[in-house]
Structure 1
């Protein structure tokens, strides 16, 4: 399985106020995909090396950084790990794991079929997300085919592979979310906003609201 990340944006964001169940909600406002892509058109590489998008492929993806974000461009594989659902289980996903690196406010794993989230590579000598303002629940803008999906950092993956997001994130972007045969070769751009965090992590509506605000500030900076 593979994992992917993208941009991180600036100061610590205290996301509070909204309550209720997680909803795999796509964004309704904020900057356009073109505006966000224009801000990350160049790469100031902050990783010591590059990542593979799949096992057996060449290492071609650098992690890039700016003062407010961390970003990269990769493909998108489907992470169906976490709580068992009809969409995500050992029968639908040959790589299924019943846990995620980060958990809901009730202590349970995340629900891939409901919550748009992104997978970051496990810390290594190549790149350690923890040293760049990225945390579990951090806000991410995922861009594909002129669509923007705001998500959270929800899981970690292999230390040498990048480019993965949840079933819900893929579905909202119009990507086949099937964990066995779905995903996209991209290009998919990931933008992590440094210092941001949604609480509770499972509230997708909060991620959208916070993402729109952070992205607007980033585009205007």
Structure 2
């Protein structure tokens, strides 16, 4: 999660990187021009989320310095929000996600792979949901770790899983891999998108194993079709 303070552990990690214990930062990879996962278009999904039936008790900020303007909205079979995208690089250390590349790096995620290890932000598309609070409780709304989320940006659809939790008052964050697939700068310190990102989380869904992106795409496509039919 991006909104954090630099910890002693982060400083230690940077020292380890310098000593060669951690991998050095790799050069950025080329971002795809477009992505369309599954058979449901971004336009069709967006047409179903033009109005909001608010289910959160309040609204969220997109960053620490912004005002709270983002509600969580309910639909048949899903909840959604429209926000920005901050970059989460937490989880397993990789060349692009470690204490050197991300000042807020944490070596864990709220939900873990089938082998018990944290998720890998660099390679797995996942979304961060706000930790449960008086504003909104994601679990009570039917959102689970490993649940499928259709992330829409720039006319593109990327299917991700619910992989981490963040601050209780901030919304709009996804993994390095999610941003990269959508053509958003994935740099955890300077990247992200200021606005224009729609997150549609399908209630009751769960990908198994959580680390299988292909399984998320298959299930996501099925749920997106149902979402269009039922709303």
TM-score, normalization by structure 1? 0.88
For the residue of structure 1 that corresponds to 2:113, the secondary structure is coil
Residue 188 of structure 1: how far off its partner (Å): 0.2
C-alpha offsets along residues 110-160 of structure 1, whole Å, 9 cap, x if unaligned? Answer: 000010000000000000000011000000000000000000000000000
C-alpha offsets along residues 6-42 of structure 1, whole Å, 9 cap, x if unaligned? Answer: xxxxxxxxxxxxxxxxxxxx65322110100000110
- Note if contact 2:76-2:227 (Cα within 8 Å) is conserved in structure 1: no
- Note if contact 1:30-1:213 (Cα within 8 Å) is conserved in structure 2: no
For the residue of structure 2 that corresponds to 1:170, the secondary structure is helix
Name 1:14's counterpart in structure 2: none
Instruction: Please identify the structure whose Cα radius of gyration is greater.
Output: 2
Name 1:123's counterpart in structure 2: 132
RMSD (Å), alpha carbons: 1.2
Select 2:45's aligned residue among 32, 36, 42.
36
Runs of 4+ in structure 1 displaced over 3 angstroms?
none
Name 2:113's counterpart in structure 1: 104
Select 1:219's aligned residue among 210, 225, 228.
228
Name 1:135's counterpart in structure 2: 144
Name 1:190's counterpart in structure 2: 199
For the residue of structure 1 that corresponds to 2:43, the secondary structure is helix
For the residue of structure 1 that corresponds to 2:140, the secondary structure is helix
Within 2, Cα distance between the matches of 1:178 and 1:82? 15
- Note if contact 2:121-2:175 (Cα within 8 Å) is conserved in structure 1: yes
Within 1, Cα distance between the matches of 2:133 and 2:37? 36
* Contiguous gaps of at least 5 residues in structure 2: 4-34
Q: 5 Å matches for 1:55-66?
A: 55-66=64-75
- Note if contact 1:119-1:157 (Cα within 8 Å) is conserved in structure 2: yes
Residue 66 of structure 1: how far off its partner (Å): 1.5
- Note if contact 1:71-1:189 (Cα within 8 Å) is conserved in structure 2: yes
Select 1:50's aligned residue among 59, 65, 75.
59
Judging changes above 3 Å, is the alpha-carbon distance between structure 1 residues 160 and 215 closer, same or farther for their aligned structure 2 residues?
A: same
Which has the higher mean CA deviation after the structures are superposed, 192-201 or 26-35?
Answer: 26-35
Q: 5 Å matches for 1:66-85?
A: 66-85=75-94
Within 1, Cα distance between the matches of 2:112 and 2:38? 28
Name 1:91's counterpart in structure 2: 100
Within 2, Cα distance between the matches of 1:213 and 1:67? 15
TM-score, normalization by structure 2? 0.84
Select 1:169's aligned residue among 175, 178, 195.
178
Judging changes above 3 Å, is the alpha-carbon distance between structure 1 residues 201 and 84 closer, same or farther for their aligned structure 2 residues?
A: same
Within 2, Cα distance between the matches of 1:214 and 1:76? 23
